[in-house]
Amino acid sequence: MSSDRRPLAVTLAPPLFWLLLFFLVPLAVVWAYSFGRNAGLTEIEISGTFANYARTLEPLYLGIFLKSAGVAGLTTLICLVAGFPVALAITFASDRAKTWLLLLVMLPFWTNLLIRTYALIAVLRDEGYVNFTLEWIWARLGSIWTLPPFVPLELLHNNAAVIFGLVYVHLPFMVLPLYSALDRLDRSLIEASLDLGAGQLRTMLRVVVPLALPGIISGIVITFIPALGAYLTPDLLGGPDSQMIANVIERQFKRANDWPFGAALSFILMYLTLIMIAVQAMTEKRKAR
Amino acid sequence: MSHIITVENVSKRFGQVAAVDDVSLAIEEGEFFALLGPSGCGKTTLLRMLAGFETPTEGRITLDGKDMAGVPPNRRPVNMVFQSYAVFPHMTVADNIGYGLKVDGLGRAERDARISEALDLVRLTGLGERKPDQLSGGQRQRVALARALAKRPRVLLLDEPLSALDAKLREQMRFELASLQHQVGITFVMVTHDQDEALAMATRCAVMERGRLVQLATPSDLYEFPNSRFVADFIGSVNMIEGRLTTDKPDEAIITTSELGDVFIDHAVLGHTGGTLWLALRPEKIELRVRDAGSPAPKMEDSPQGYNSIAGTIDHIAYLGSESVFEIVLEHLPDKKLRVIRPNLTRWDQEDFAEGQPVWMSWHACAPAVLAG
């Protein structure tokens, strides 16, 4: 090792050691568990079996995987549709407004996810702010016409609440990469399109979207991956039929006490994630070429 | 009416700042019109108002007699060549050129014909399938030109079209742009901060300063008959000398200066006797002669009021090949210099004029432009 590289090694060594000891080693242990079987209450025998992986393909678990992918996909789609205009608006805002708008987008990151989720419960529950407001309006209308008694809307503990919560949590993951792609876009390309006679819609579809595509793809990947593995949101906002794959994994490790199967489920999720990241990296590489 | 574009009392304010301040001008059909001025003079803002990217705060712009107020860029019969070229990087050259034609609803055959016609016009024949990142800067600019011209606009707008090219290519493109304009017969309106570019290509130039139109003239009139010190100074290089009008007759005027003494002018000067005036004397209009000890000041035959000449010594020479630029210290005012340009007509021409050589500088009575402000 040449002497000028030594400072680099010294700086990198502690975090690398940390990563190795507390991330890669436990991960390897869990990976090993996924090829094992329960031998007694706390003992796991690493037998090299693929039985756990075979079990993940049972209709029950396959269904939950598909459902999770569906929920995450719908969340990503809503984030994209809602986030694109937001990113566009920030791009074209004045420099001063831009700083504030970006701050507003990032603000939720500085609040604990658990607190934000409980706040959503406070908004959506039967006696929550939404129903409270609706009841108030209902009462005012009731003084004009005769209305049946107010029945609160069931906004919580169902799939819609889960998707609502996931969109709320993941929107910044979509907006920020979209914004950075749109902000890099040469404005004169948009003007050139208008100048050549294209309307706003054609300019958007033929010029802005194709050129922002790398940002759109990374926004989709960055949103979809954490949404697929969401645990807290379906756990707190969902109903009995809203469980996603992360909730199932948690149950294997805790109540079911089946660590090998939980490990196999975890690694299936991990492989899916790695495949998605690889596909994205490949498309990006082709773009850059 | 032969005016293709009229700009009537147009102002554009961004907050408190007037980028364009009460500008009126008319552009004729088939002209190569240049908007010229230093950066920040409002020329680009004016061009963008013609394209429809900015709306005038006050005033009116007409195109073919139609008021352009409220007409968006995509509905105006003008096309623009952007300073950055703005060639779509995700489309081939042919798709770039075809983009505007597709918008117009042209069929495939018609489109292909127009694309290859446009490629031929800008001498990019056969490069239609290339992507922009496979082209040089000069070629990308040609794509931008072809894309705009393929639309057969009434007016082609060019925003600093040559500024991103290197010096050699820039000079070549000047001729090419001018001949292209001649060939297609479309009215060109160009923005530039480069006076050489404007003089070389334009049929008429509008000089702008701080949002205002200061002079609108042909290139030679701008150079020889500037109407202000700003224009004289901005276009080309000039010796600017302050003086007082001491004699003013119908065909003779004398302006008394501290640098050049009494300067004879062979025409009347509009001004009042005793008032301050400026003489703008171009460096190439001053003739240099070797001054030997005791040799008399040279006579200039065709100058009825005698000659304007003054003694000096060569202080510094910039040899530019085709010509040499001299800085010459005045004999009676050693801290004042005049700039003189002398063509190197023969290959040993410059030998007589070395640094430290005493010289006579003389000029015709009609050579300096007399400016009131």
Other beta carbons less than 10 A from residue A135's beta carbon: 17
Residues B109 and B131 in one domain: yes
pLDDT tens, position by position, B227-250: 999 999 999 899 999 999 888 888
Identify which has the larger pLDDT, A288 or B123: B123
Contacts of B82 in chain A (CB under 8 A): 188, 191-192
Residues B138 and B120 in one domain: yes
- What is the strand order of the sheet B337-343 is part of? B287-290, B358-363, B308-319, B323-330, B337-343
**Residue B300 · residue B268 · CB < 8 Å:** no
Residues B193 and B300 in one domain: no
Of B176, B204, B233, the domain-final residue? B233
Of B167, B199, B233, the domain-final residue? B233
Q: Which residue of B has its CA nearest to A207?
A: B88
Residues B179 and B264 in one domain: no
Q: Which residue of A has its CA nearest to B157?
A: A195
Nearest to A194 among B74, B104, B151 (CB): B74
**Residue A174 · residue A227 · CB < 8 Å:** no
Residue A209 has what pLDDT? 94
∠ CA A37-A43-A44, nearest 5°, is 30
Give chain B's domain count.
2
Closest CA to B19 of B192, B209, B233: B209
Other beta carbons less than 10 A from residue B157's beta carbon: 24
Nearest to B86 among A186, A202, A210 (CB): A186
Q: Do B100 and A198 touch (CB under 8 A)?
A: yes
Q: Do B73 and A194 touch (CB under 8 A)?
A: yes
Contacts of B148 in chain A (CB under 8 A): 195-196
- In order, the DSSP letters of A148-213 are PPP-----SSSHHHHHHHHHHHHHHHHHHHHHHHHHHS-HHHHHHHHHTT--HHHHIIIIIHHHTH
Contacts of B89 in chain A (CB under 8 A): 211
Contacts of A209 in chain B (CB under 8 A): none
Closest CA to B326 of B352, B347, B301: B352
Closest-CA distance, A288 to chain B, in angstroms, reads: 11
Flag whether residue A45 sits within 8 Å of chain B, measured between CB atoms: no
Domains of chain A, start order: 68-111+170-288 (1.10.3720.10)
How would residue B301 be classed by pLDDT, with cut points 50, 70 and 90? low
Other beta carbons less than 10 A from residue A3's beta carbon: 6
Per-position b or e across B75-95, b if 16+ CB within 10 A of its CB? ebbbbbbbbbbbbbeebbbbb
Residues B184 and B247 in one domain: no
Say whether the ipTM exceeds 0.90: no
Residue B268 has what pLDDT? 79
- Work out how many CB contacts closer than 8 A connect A with B: 58
Distance (Å, whole) CA A214 – CA A202: 19
Residue B295 has what pLDDT? 67
Nearest to B86 among A192, A198, A199 (CB): A192
Phi, psi (rounded to 5 degrees) for B286:
-100, 130
Residues B197 and B244 in one domain: no
Tens of each residue's pLDDT in chain A, 289 residues: 456 778 888 889 989 999 999 999 999 999 999 998 888 777 888 888 889 999 988 999 999 999 999 999 999 999 999 999 999 999 999 999 999 999 999 988 888 899 999 999 999 988 889 999 999 999 888 888 888 888 888 888 999 999 999 999 999 999 999 999 999 999 999 999 999 999 999 999 999 999 999 899 999 999 999 999 999 999 999 988 888 999 999 999 988 888 999 999 999 999 988 998 898 888 777 766 5
Q: Do B79 and A193 touch (CB under 8 A)?
A: no
Q: Does residue B294 surpass a pLDDT of 50?
A: yes
CATH of the domain at B56: 3.40.50.300
Identify the domain containing residue B301 by its residue range.
239-371
Round the average pLDDT of chain B to a whole number and report it.
90
Flag whether residue A202 sits within 8 Å of chain B, measured between CB atoms: yes
Residues B205 and B350 in one domain: no
Distance (Å, whole) CA B47 – CA B12: 12
- Burial of residue B231 (CB within 10 Å: 0-12, 13-18, 19+) is buried
**Residue B266 · residue B251 · CB < 8 Å:** yes
Q: Do B90 and A211 touch (CB under 8 A)?
A: yes
Close Cβ partners of A157 (under 8 Å, ≥ 6 residues apart): A237, A238, A239, A242
Residues B246 and B228 in one domain: no
- What is the strand order of the sheet B252-257 is part of? B261-265, B252-257, B239-249, B276-281, B369-371
Of B194, B214, B233, the domain-final residue? B233
Identify which has the larger pLDDT, B273 or A193: A193
**Which amino acid type is present at position B288?**
L
Q: Do A191 and B82 touch (CB under 8 A)?
A: yes
Q: Which residue of A has its CA nearest to B80?
A: A195
CATH of the domain at B367: 2.40.50.100
Residues B203 and B265 in one domain: no
Residues B195 and B263 in one domain: no
Flag whether residue A199 sits within 8 Å of chain B, measured between CB atoms: yes
Residue A1 has what pLDDT? 47
Close Cβ partners of B281 (under 8 Å, ≥ 6 residues apart): B238, B239, B241, B338, B363, B367, B368, B369
Residues B206 and B258 in one domain: no
Residues B73 and B40 in one domain: yes
Residue B162 has what pLDDT? 87
Close Cβ partners of B148 (under 8 Å, ≥ 6 residues apart): A195, A196, B79, B80, B81, B100, B156
Distance (Å, whole) CA A182 – CA B135: 24
Phi, psi (rounded to 5 degrees) for B115:
-65, -45
Q: Do A186 and B84 touch (CB under 8 A)?
A: yes
Closest CA to A216 of A266, A280, A164, A285: A280
